[in-house]
Amino acid sequence: MRFEEALKTLEEIVLKLEREELPLEEALKQYEEGVKLIRHCEKLLQEAERRLKILSRTEEGELKSRSFPLEPEA
């Protein structure tokens, strides 16, 4: 499942849990599905973070990759 699809489904589950009076068993089922989706999204984000690289040139003009800074530099 793509990240955007998982996030949309997760948002729908949250709304359902907040707005509807679900039987306990159904609420637990929805909660468990939400936890699975959160883990899936976290895994996808971690993979994207690993893949995110910036190409930069060395002093010799060669291209090299380095990790993308996730935190703004001070």
What are the tens digits of pLDDT across the range 41-68? Answer: 999 998 887 776 555 556 676 766 666 6
- Domain range list for the chain: 3-67
Confidence at residue 48, expressed as pLDDT on a 0 to 100 scale: 83
Confidence at residue 62, expressed as pLDDT on a 0 to 100 scale: 72
Inter-helix orientation angle 3-19/24-51, to 10°:
150
Across 1-74, the runs of DSSP E, i.e. the strands, are 53-57, 63-67
* Cα–Cα dist 9/51, whole Å: 25
Confidence at residue 23, expressed as pLDDT on a 0 to 100 scale: 95
Report yes or no: 41 and 26 within 8 Å, Cβ to Cβ: no
The 10s digit of each residue's pLDDT in 11-46 is 999 999 999 899 999 999 999 999 999 999 999 998
* Number of CB atoms found within 10 A of residue 41's CB: 17
